[in-house]
């Protein structure tokens, strides 16, 4: 078989035919239905994107690509039961989850779920345990689960689409709209021919043609072959007559080469940049209603619009004008700092968090993304752009914003030359803003920046100030030390995340740091740079990036919902704009200097301010 490289993309589902899967790119209506499902209560299984409902076994296998990938689905041959499908050591494994009815009293019973000895009161609890603890799913397999493969279509649609999948009805070969696109087809070598599947006591491993790349647009196939294996969820193994059959021999077969070239049998089942006569950007513009179909000239439909590779920052501090500062200002001008301090004192933490979130989401292109910007990016959301090669400038801009925000807040603490009580009060205010960003706004990027300001060595060394905080604002100190700091560490370690239904801006800082290593975001060793957890944490954050790229629409919807009716205050918003902060910190001239020089100089300034507030103790 020939292998053809295609454009990368995140995926959608496939639909059974006789010997083909048909690509079914989601419409805007389906995307909205998915968003509504994921916003349900966490106790509802539908709210978890790793639950794919009634998809067939073969389809679940095709979604398993990376070591540690997993999803949960309904058991085909045992209605009411569930199967955990995972990828481990280049094999796809299926684990039937046991259900046990536990009688708590004479009148009350409850169901528990287990794979082996450990039992859980809910399926999400089971998943969270095995992902968080990295415990083996079963002793004999040693398999672990790291990152979920999230569904990209609503469960209601999947149920309809796959309701007749078992019978494999005869249907016409081909991709959606009858278009075969060689550039969209891709295939990965996999497997050993003719390997038998195993049952529940030893969940079977499968080697299949249906393999997935997180960023590729493909077609997929299931072809009959003398070498067959079964896809089973329960014991004993079902008979061949009652089981879907699947080719496991990955070597070229004579009958496969008889297919027409335009209907290549290679590939997989997830696509977002689905093949068709229109380029992706044109389709996007049509779907969004920015132009009518008639406005796309027929002769232009075969043109591809390449994304624009941005090389200039979106921040222009030298052109920035603000009523809070003169056209030309010096670094850390006293009058500007005083006004910043007054504005921070006037607003409540939640209002500050909303302003930060709005500014963050604009820079990250989660909110207020025009069709023209989408056309330029080649994707619909900045969350997908920052995972792509041509998204480097966005990654750099976000790292600039992160660092500048942290330094600005630190300066407000270190520049507070009043009493220790005043500084402790300002620390308490910043802690409250961090809490609002985390819990109320679901803005993990802003939360990480505010937390970094508190963790800077020049701030964390102020023992008198922190002691006063514990005495005067005990609840704030406890909140910071017992909740916010541990949560921040868990985010970085990949052991915890914000619920999707509450997230406006996911935790992308580790990904940004990994992809743009040359731009440091702080001193010290990051969690993924230690020998003990390095590889696991890196793989987690890279895996999370694939999920983040697919969920830009949900983040936008969440942000719009949380900011609905919010009336921004222009002066307050300015405090949290990166252009303003760069001018405040480095002045009109220094703000345009090279980044490394700016940061190194300001690190010295912060140290001097910190030592002036609380001189270091000299030991003899």
Length of the chain: 620
Query: Which residues, listed in sequence order, are joined to residue 94 by a DSSP beta bridge?
Result: 85
pLDDT reported for residue 25: 62
pLDDT reported for residue 620: 55
Burial of 340 (0-12, 13-18, 19+ CB in 10 A): buried
pLDDT reported for residue 216: 34
pLDDT reported for residue 394: 95
Tens digits of per-residue pLDDT, 395-414? Answer: 999 999 999 999 999 999 99
Tens digits of per-residue pLDDT, 476-516? Answer: 999 999 999 999 999 988 888 778 889 999 999 999 988 88
Strand pairing category for 205-206 and 91-103: antiparallel
Q: Higher confidence at residue 535 or residue 485?
A: 485
pLDDT reported for residue 77: 81
Helix (H, G, I), strand (E, B) or coil at 447: helix
> Domains plus CATH for the chain?
34-160 (3.30.505.10), 334-613 (1.10.840.10)
Give the model's confidence band at 525: pLDDT under 50 very low, under 70 low, under 90 confident, else very high: low
Strand pairing category for 147-148 and 69-74: parallel
Give the model's confidence band at 529: pLDDT under 50 very low, under 70 low, under 90 confident, else very high: low
Give the model's confidence band at 157: pLDDT under 50 very low, under 70 low, under 90 confident, else very high: confident
Query: Which residues, listed in sequence order, are joined to residue 220 by a DSSP beta bridge?
Result: 21
Tens digits of per-residue pLDDT, 202-256? Answer: 333 333 222 333 333 333 333 333 233 335 443 333 333 333 333 333 333 333 3
**What whole-number percentage of the chain has pLDDT above 90?**
42
pLDDT reported for residue 168: 39
Helix (H, G, I), strand (E, B) or coil at 21: strand
pLDDT reported for residue 74: 93
Q: Prior bond to 593 cis, omega within 30?
A: no
Give the model's confidence band at 530: pLDDT under 50 very low, under 70 low, under 90 confident, else very high: low
Tens digits of per-residue pLDDT, 19-56? Answer: 334 445 678 888 889 989 998 888 899 999 999 998 88
Q: What is the mean pLDDT of residues 317-340?
A: 91
pLDDT reported for residue 518: 63
Number of helical (H) and strand (E) elements in the chain, helices listed first: 22, 12
Tens digits of per-residue pLDDT, 85-115? Answer: 999 988 999 999 999 888 766 677 888 999 9
Q: What is the mean pLDDT of residues 580-605?
A: 88
pLDDT reported for residue 28: 83
pLDDT reported for residue 536: 79
How many Å is the Cα radius of gyration of the chain? 27
pLDDT reported for residue 292: 39
Per the prediction, the chain carries an average pLDDT of: 75
Q: What is the DSSP string of 59-86?
A: HHHHT--STTEEEEEE-SSSTT-EEEEE
* Single pTM value for the model: 0.56
The C-alpha atoms of residue 322 and residue 238 are separated, in whole angstroms, by 72
Tens digits of per-residue pLDDT, 413-428? Answer: 998 778 899 999 999 9
- Backbone torsions φ then ψ of 216, nearest 5 degrees: -135, 150
Contact 28, 206 (CB under 8 A): no
């Amino acid at each position: 078989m020939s292998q053809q490289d295609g454009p990368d993309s995140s995926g959608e589902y496939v639909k059974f035919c006789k010997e083909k899967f048909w690509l079914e790119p989601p419409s805007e209506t389906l995307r909205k239905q998915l968003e509504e499902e994921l916003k349900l209560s966490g106790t509802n299984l539908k709210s978890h994107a790793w639950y794919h409902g009634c998809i067939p076994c073969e389809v679940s296998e095709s979604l398993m690509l990376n070591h540690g990938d997993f999803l949960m689905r309904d058991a085909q041959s045992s209605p009411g039961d569930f199967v955990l499908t995972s990828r481990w050591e280049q094999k796809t494994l299926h684990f039937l989850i046991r259900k046990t009815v536990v009688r708590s009293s004479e009148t009350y019973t409850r169901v528990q779920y287990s794979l082996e000895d450990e039992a859980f009161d809910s399926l999400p609890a089971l998943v969270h345990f095995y992902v968080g603890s990295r415990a083996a799913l079963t002793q004999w397999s040693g398999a672990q689960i790291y990152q979920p493969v999230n569904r990209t279509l609503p469960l209601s649609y999947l149920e309809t689409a796959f309701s007749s999948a078992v019978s494999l009805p005869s249907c016409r070969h081909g991709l959606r709209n009858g278009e075969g696109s060689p550039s969209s087809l891709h295939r990965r070598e996999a497997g050993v021919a003719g390997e038998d599947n195993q049952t529940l006591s030893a969940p079977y491993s499968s080697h299949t043609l249906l393999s997935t790349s997180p960023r590729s647009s493909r077609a997929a196939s299931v072809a009959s072959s003398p070498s067959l294996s079964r896809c089973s969820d329960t014991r004993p193994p079902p008979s061949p007559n009652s089981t879907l059959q699947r080719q496991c021999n990955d070597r070229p077969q004579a009958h496969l080469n008889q297919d027409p070239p335009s209907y290549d049998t290679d590939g997989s089942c997830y696509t977002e940049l689905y093949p068709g006569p229109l380029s992706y950007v044109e389709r996007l513009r049509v779907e969004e209603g920015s132009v009518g179909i008639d406005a796309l000239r027929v002769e232009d439909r075969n043109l591809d619009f390449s994304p624009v590779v941005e090389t200039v920052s979106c921040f222009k501090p030298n052109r920035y004008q603000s009523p809070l500062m003169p056209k030309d200002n010096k670094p850390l001008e006293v009058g500007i700092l005083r006004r910043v301090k007054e504005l921070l004192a006037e607003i409540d933490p939640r209002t500050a968090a909303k302003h930060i979130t709005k500014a963050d989401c604009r820079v990250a292109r989660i909110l207020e993304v025009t069709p023209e910007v989408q056309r330029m990016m080649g994707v619909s959301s900045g969350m997908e752009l920052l995972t792509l090669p041509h998204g480097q400038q966005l990654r750099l801009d976000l790292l600039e914003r992160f660092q500048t925000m942290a330094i600005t807040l630190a300066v407000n603490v270190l520049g507070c030359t009043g009493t220790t009580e005043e500084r402790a009060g300002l620390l308490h205010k910043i802690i409250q803003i961090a809490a609002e960003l985390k819990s109320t706004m679901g803005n993990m990027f802003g939360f990480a920046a505010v937390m970094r300001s508190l963790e800077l060595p020049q701030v964390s060394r102020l023992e008198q100030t922190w002691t006063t905080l514990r005495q005067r604002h005990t609840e704030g100190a406890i909140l910071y030390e017992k909740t916010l700091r541990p949560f921040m560490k868990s985010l970085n370690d990949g052991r915890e995340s914000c619920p999707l239904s509450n997230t406006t801006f996911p935790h992308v800082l580790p990904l940004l740091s990994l992809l743009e290593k040359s731009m440091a975001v702080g001193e010290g060793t990051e969690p993924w740079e230690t020998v003990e957890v390095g590889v696991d944490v890196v793989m987690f954050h890279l895996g999370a990036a694939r999920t983040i790229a697919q969920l830009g629409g949900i983040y936008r919807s969440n942000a719009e919902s949380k900011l609905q009716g919010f009336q921004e205050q222009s002066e307050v918003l300015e405090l949290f704009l990166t252009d303003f902060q760069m001018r405040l910190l480095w002045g009109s001239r220094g703000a345009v200097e090279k980044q490394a020089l700016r940061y190194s100089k300001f690190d010295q300034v912060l140290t001097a301010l910190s030592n002036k507030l609380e001189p270091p103790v000299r030991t003899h």
